[in-house]
Amino acid sequence: MGQYTAPLRDMRFVLHELLDVTAELKALPAHAEVDAAIINQVLEEGAKFTSKVLFPLNQVGDREGCRLDLTAHEVATPTGFKEAYRQFVEAGWPALVCDPQFGGQGLPIVVHNCFSEMLNASNQAWYMYPGLSHGAYECLHEHGTPEQKALYLPKLVSGQWTGTMFLTEAHCGTDLGLLRAKAAPQSDGSCKITGGKIFISAGEHDMAENILHLVLARLPDAPSGTKGISLFIVPKFIPNADGTLGARNTIHCDAIEDKMGIHGNSTCQMSLDEATGWLIGQPHKGLNAMFVMMNAARLGVGMQSLGLTEVAYQNALAYARERLQMRSLSGIKAPDQPADPIIVHPDVRRMLLTAKAYAEGGRAFSSFVALHIDRELNHPDEAVRKEAGEMVTLLTPIIKAFMTDNGWIATSEAMQVHGGHGYITGTGIEQYVRDARINMIYEGTNTVQSLDLLGRKILMDNGAKLKKFGALVQAFVEENGTDEAMSEFVTPLADLGDKVTKLTMEIGMKAFQNPDEVGAAAVPYLRVVGHLVYSYFFARMAKIALGKLDSGDNFYKAKLATTRFYFARLLPETAMLIRQARSGAKPLLDLEAELF
């Protein structure tokens, strides 16, 4: 079955030593009373729940999958999932960061972010049920009417009801302007919605008494394209005015997708046959409202891969310490054994350190973004809120694409450490590889995220948002540039910052002549910027570690070694990526389509 222990020591390092979150939270009235003791206690309890309750169900969910009763259109989740959700609800976890007005605990996003990593590491498929519910909560919290909020939000906050989002149709995925689902207004203010949706995660299940579906559809007078999309809330059971369950709505699961991974989550094909729904927000502005949920989901997908990176690393490390294979090239390391443990071999170290570095870099990066979301939502200064929001906007596609790319790399390396035992199901490691692969696809493929970063987030505003992150890098370089002990980190960081600036200008100039240049450069460009972000955080972590090497705590020694590995063996990837991005569209478009 493997093992999982939440990396609490590194989480505390990131929150309290790297980001000093308690000082940051004091400037936010909603969180001013949240101190280190509260944060640590929440994370310790989260670690217990995820390791003891969720992790043992991970392989169960993978092997059993979900079962659909086609007659009743009901889905049974794997053994133990429903009971685990009951414990999750009873412990108050769904309410952790929700608005106290609707029964929430009102804790900061940055705390939930760490808990989210634990949930995904222990059981990604299970966490997709309540994870999507929180996205529905956020969308309704921002765009719902007072009546909708009063009716639905307390149920979502408590976990009594769950939520989903209905975007994809068989003929359209990313290009939502092609969707065909129809909404017919009724005299009572509701709408009758008809259409079919596919790839709906948690679209039907037995874990909660009701499911609130957020559905994109077109009103009769809707213009074509994305400007004609409206958003509706379509409950599985239509609630009565007092919140009790009423009639079963005409929205059903017709099939469960047979998938490569995340078997424990019911990925459904759903049909709506004049199902009753209610408009959320303004007519034809549904995509704007749904983007609240979509952006939350993109951040969540990044955390899925961070969780998988960590758990795969932990299991590969445990295996490498125990597995005996050959002798070290530099001499016998375990003379009392017939062979040395494979952790002595340099390339096994490379694979382990790759996963370890991508986990630690992702943890620092995602916590930084989560703290900026807290600022955006709660800081009393409008200018600070705006600036924080712009930073989150810039970094969201990097969290989604760079972290999921890295999760795929890390889980694959962890599987390789296991050798043949990684390829069979007994160790559980191959499941992480399968589960990690979907994260690069859904909630906007990583190519779409790359196009979004380069085309919309950077070139569209002439690099203004990127320059704000660049200012953080520059300030750190100037502050530490004369520190000889930091030169091994500051020099490559400054060099990459300059290269990103030049590459951005070069692509921008090419794009004026040929827009295809953006599409050709986008994917390697995002990875280059991702490495700039990670190198910034690793340099900051190195500074802390260098200052505490004499503390006697080996944690700092390990942190410094991991940072040196990152700069020596992972960051150099940017040289290749920059050459790829500069190669332009011509090598991709010269071959006529019919000659492929």
In sequence order, the β-bridge partners of residue 191 are 185, 277
H/E/C letters for each residue in 560-591? Answer: HHHHHHHHHHHCCHHHHHHHHHHCCCHHHHCC
CA distances from 346 to 321, 329, 342, 353, 428 (A): 13, 9, 9, 10, 24
* Catalytic site includes residue 488: no
Under 8 Å between Cβ of 207 and 242 = no
Burial of 244 from C-beta contacts in 10 A (0-12 / 13-18 / 19+): exposed
Angle at 583 between CA 403 and CA 454, to 5 degrees: 45
For strand 245-248 and strand 237-239, is the pairing parallel, antiparallel, or unpaired? Answer: antiparallel
d(CA 277, CA 39): 39
Residues 115 and 120: their CA atoms lie apart, in Å, by 9
- The set of residues, in sequence order, having a beta carbon less than 8 Å from that of 539 and lying 6+ positions away, is 476, 480, 486, 489, 490, 493, 563
Name the DSSP letter for residue 28: S
Give DSSP secondary structure letters for 242-257.
Answer: TS-EEEEPSEEEEEE-
SS3 string of 336-374?
CCCCCEHHHCHHHHHHHHHHHHHHHHHHHHHHHHHHHHH
3-state secondary structure of 183: strand
Q: How far apart are CA 245 and CA 152, in angstroms?
A: 12
Q: Which of 24, 117, 376, 443 is catalytic?
A: 443
Q: Are 264 and 65 in contact (CB under 8 A)?
A: yes
Any idea which residues carry the catalytic annotation? 443
